[in-house]
């Protein structure tokens, strides 16, 4: 066990030595990997920020039922009873016109406009969450609500949120595809780097085999080299992402402030950042594994 | 013990390097493999660590049929053999000491014991004072002594040398053979291939003489 650990320590030291000996080439490789990985990582961070910003929005379909201004209390109560007994309604809540006005006044930029009004122009309303979310079922329920005597207008509120969710889903898929393609690129870069290393060290490998080195012993430094290169690329990707977000956020802050928002593009969560690092390390190792499996067997002592 | 029984070796081009070679070498023997260039000396030596596999017959090393060994078992066979080559096969980007440490890094030895063995091997071949030098700074005879130090660092029971004196002057060649004789005196089986009849004459040992791939004696 101690010998095994010592051999791993030596392999790691040998890999670090090779990286140090070829600083420029290693740095360029890591930079290429870093830039490639920063693209999907950045896309993921952007989506996460937008998801957090949209968290308050209702993604479930809901119907806003505006009542006639002249609706009598009895008609409102009849509608409440109808909603209570309607199987297609999961839940509903009543929003009195005074509360609706208060909420509107709280909206940035509208306070002065509302204050200028002589009377409250808003009607009482019910917000209804249906049990079924299909478009046809939603429309049928809206039709039934419009037929109620107290109802003036029915509006489906969640269409935009559903579209946003669909766009986010498509973007997530695109980012996953991009990540897959760039991961293949990372593997190819590591594969080629290790191939060149193997060819450069052909004589040493041949001598090592001749005097009793196992394949595992010879492979190990190359695995560490691939993994270290992947890890360096992952670290650079995180650095590039952090710097890019810092630059972008100065513009985003200005734009968000004009909407009265404090929205900022956030960096990856610690777990996600760690996942990027582990992923890039694993891909580097995998590239080295493919290269070593392909080329090491070809070298035999003569 | 090394045993060749009806061994033949035919290379892919059809060249017959060895034909029906049979002999036995007992533990502790010192044996020369003699013959002209192209007689099959190198091929014969390469069959022992399974660098080449026989086309026919069996090569046994300590009772193990090395021609039938699986690839994964070869490193363990080779660790028990000390191999010395005409071109030394040294690593010129490492120091003398690091070259000797190379075979010791594969095994189970601790770092301290490996270092002790490497220093002992360098001491035996008289290169202790040059341990930090690069092999390129050594003379031909010193490079060959370094190759011997690396070969014996793992304390193998069998030492195999292919033309170890081919590029050396007579004095250096005698000194190298003297080192092999020293190891043989402490029980190491030594097998040296050479075409230098004068050198063979100076060391009165058993000779396996090859001619056109066949054992003459």
- Structure confidence at residue A55 (pLDDT): 59
CB contact (8 A) between residue B76 and residue A212:
yes
Give yes or no: residues A205 and A230 share one domain: yes
Of A2, A7, A211, the CB nearest to B102: A211
- Structure confidence at residue B59 (pLDDT): 96
Whether the CB of B202 is below 8 Å from some CB of chain A: the reply is: no
Contacts of B65 (CB under 8 A, 6+ apart): B58, B59
CA B86 to CA A66: how far, in whole Å? 99
Residue of chain A minimizing CA distance to B43: A302
* Residues of chain A contacting B83 with CB distance shorter than 8 Å: 210-211
Would you say residue A162 lies in a domain? Answer: no
Asked if residues A71 and A157 have their Cβ atoms less than 8 Å apart, the reply is no
- pLDDT band at residue A297 using 50, 70 and 90 as cut-offs: confident
Over residues A120-129, the mean pLDDT reads 90
- pLDDT band at residue A57 using 50, 70 and 90 as cut-offs: low
**How does the average pLDDT of chain B come out, rounded?**
91
Counting the structural domains of chain A, the total is 2
- Structure confidence at residue B14 (pLDDT): 83
Tell me which of A88, A123, A157 is where a domain ends: A157
Give yes or no: residues A110 and A245 share one domain: no
Over residues A139-144, the mean pLDDT reads 88
Distance of CA A20 to CAs A16, A151, A198, A232, B197, Å?
A: 6, 76, 17, 13, 50
Residue of chain B minimizing CA distance to A212: B75
- Structure confidence at residue B189 (pLDDT): 95
Lowest-confidence segment of A87-91, A115-119, A268-272 by average pLDDT = A115-119
Give yes or no: residues A10 and A150 share one domain: no
Please check the confidence at residue A2 and state whether its pLDDT lies above 60.
Answer: yes
* Residues of chain B contacting A208 with CB distance shorter than 8 Å: 102, 106
Lowest-confidence segment of A90-94, A103-107, B2-6, B61-65 by average pLDDT = A103-107
CB contact (8 A) between residue B105 and residue A10:
yes
Residue of chain A minimizing CA distance to B72: A214
3-state secondary structure A74-121: HHHHHHHHHHHHCCCEEEEEEECHHHHHHHHHCCCCCHHHHHHCCCCC
Please check the confidence at residue B166 and state whether its pLDDT lies above 90.
Answer: no
Asked if residues B179 and B146 have their Cβ atoms less than 8 Å apart, the reply is no
* Residues of chain B contacting A20 with CB distance shorter than 8 Å: none
CB contact (8 A) between residue A217 and residue B106:
yes
B2-80+156-215 — its CATH code?
Answer: 3.40.50.300
Across chain B, the runs of DSSP E, i.e. the strands, are 2-10, 16-25, 30-34, 56-61, 64-65, 81-84, 158-162, 189-194, 206-211, 214-215
Q: Number of Cβ pairs closer than 8 Å across A and B?
A: 58
Share of chain A above pLDDT 70, in %: 94
Give yes or no: residues A91 and A122 share one domain: yes
Over residues A161-185, the mean pLDDT reads 82
Which tokens belong to A76?
């409102």
- Structure confidence at residue B132 (pLDDT): 94
Please check the confidence at residue A281 and state whether its pLDDT lies above 60.
Answer: yes
- pLDDT band at residue A185 using 50, 70 and 90 as cut-offs: confident
- Structure confidence at residue B73 (pLDDT): 93
Please check the confidence at residue A56 and state whether its pLDDT lies above 60.
Answer: no
Would you say residue A190 lies in a domain? Answer: yes
- Structure confidence at residue A157 (pLDDT): 67
- Structure confidence at residue B185 (pLDDT): 93
Domain limits at A288?
2-56+168-298
Q: What is the DSSP letter of B133?
A: S
Please check the confidence at residue B21 and state whether its pLDDT lies above 80.
Answer: yes
Give yes or no: residues A19 and A93 share one domain: no
Tell me which of A136, A157, A178 is where a domain ends: A157
Whichever domain contains A97, its CATH number is: 3.30.70.3040
Of A2, A206, A212, the CB nearest to B78: A212
- pLDDT band at residue A159 using 50, 70 and 90 as cut-offs: low
CA A60 to CA A133: how far, in whole Å? 8
Give yes or no: residues A177 and A261 share one domain: yes
A198-256 residue pLDDT tens: 888 888 899 999 999 998 889 999 999 999 999 999 999 999 999 999 999 888 888 88
- Structure confidence at residue A71 (pLDDT): 87
- Structure confidence at residue B217 (pLDDT): 56
- pLDDT band at residue B101 using 50, 70 and 90 as cut-offs: very high
Q: What predicted TM-score, i.e. pTM, was given to this entire model?
A: 0.70
CA A207 to CA B8: how far, in whole Å? 26
B68-81 residue pLDDT tens: 999 999 999 999 99
Give yes or no: residues A247 and A138 share one domain: no
- pLDDT band at residue A289 using 50, 70 and 90 as cut-offs: very high
């Amino acid at each position: 066990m101690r010998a095994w650990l010592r051999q791993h320590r030596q392999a790691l030291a040998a890999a670090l030595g090779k990286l140090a000996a070829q600083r420029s080439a290693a740095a360029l490789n890591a930079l290429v990997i870093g830039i490639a990985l920063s693209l999907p990582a950045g896309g993921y961070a952007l989506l996460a920020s937008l998801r957090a910003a949209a968290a308050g929005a209702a993604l479930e379909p809901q119907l806003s039922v505006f009542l006639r201004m002249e609706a009598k209390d009895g008609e409102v109560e009849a509608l409440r009873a109808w909603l209570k007994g309607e199987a297609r309604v999961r839940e509903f809540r009543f929003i009195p016109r005074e509360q609706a006005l208060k909420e509107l006044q709280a909206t940035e930029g509208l306070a002065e406009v509302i204050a200028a009004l002589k009377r409250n122009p808003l009607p009482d309303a019910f917000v209804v969450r249906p049990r079924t979310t299909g478009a046809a079922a939603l429309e049928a329920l809206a039709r039934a609500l419009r037929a109620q005597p107290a109802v003036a207008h029915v509006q489906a509120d969640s269409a935009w949120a559903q579209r946003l969710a669909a766009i986010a889903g498509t973007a997530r898929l695109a980012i996953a595809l991009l990540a897959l393609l760039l991961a293949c690129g990372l593997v190819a870069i590591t594969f080629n780097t290790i191939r060149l290393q193997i060819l450069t060290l052909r004589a040493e490998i041949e001598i090592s085999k001749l005097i009793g080195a196992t394949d595992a012993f010879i492979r190990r430094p190359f695995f560490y080299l691939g993994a270290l290169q992947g890890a360096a690329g992952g670290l650079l990707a995180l650095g590039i992402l952090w710097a890019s977000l810092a630059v972008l956020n100065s513009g985003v802050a200005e734009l968000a402030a004009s909407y009265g928002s404090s929205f900022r593009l956030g960096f990856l969560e610690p777990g996600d950042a760690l996942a990027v690092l582990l992923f890039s390390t694993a891909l580097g190792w995998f590239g080295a594994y493919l290269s070593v499996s392909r080329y090491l067997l070809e070298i035999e002592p003569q | 013990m090394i045993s060749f029984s009806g061994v033949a070796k035919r290379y892919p081009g059809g060249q017959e390097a060895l034909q029906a070679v049979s002999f036995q070498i007992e533990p502790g023997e010192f044996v020369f493999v003699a013959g002209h260039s192209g007689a099959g000396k190198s091929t014969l030596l390469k069959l022992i660590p399974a660098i080449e596999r026989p086309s026919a017959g069996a090569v046994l090393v300590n009772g193990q049929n090395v021609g039938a060994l699986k690839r994964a078992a070869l490193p363990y066979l080779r660790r028990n053999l000390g191999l010395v080559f005409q071109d030394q096969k040294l690593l010129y980007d490492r120091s003398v000491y690091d070259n000797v440490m190379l075979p010791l890094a594969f095994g189970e030895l601790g770092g301290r014991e490996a270092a002790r063995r490497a220093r002992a091997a360098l001491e035996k071949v008289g290169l202790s004072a040059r341990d930090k030098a690069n092999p390129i700074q050594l003379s031909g005879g010193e490079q060959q002594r370094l190759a011997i130090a690396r070969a014996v660092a793992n304390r193998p029971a069998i030492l195999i040398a292919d033309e170890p004196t081919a590029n050396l002057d007579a004095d250096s060649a005698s000194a190298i053979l003297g080192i092999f004789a020293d190891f043989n005196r402490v029980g190491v089986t030594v097998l040296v291939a050479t075409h230098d009849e004068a050198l063979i004459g100076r060391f009165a040992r058993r000779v396996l003489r090859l001619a056109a791939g066949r054992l003459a004696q």
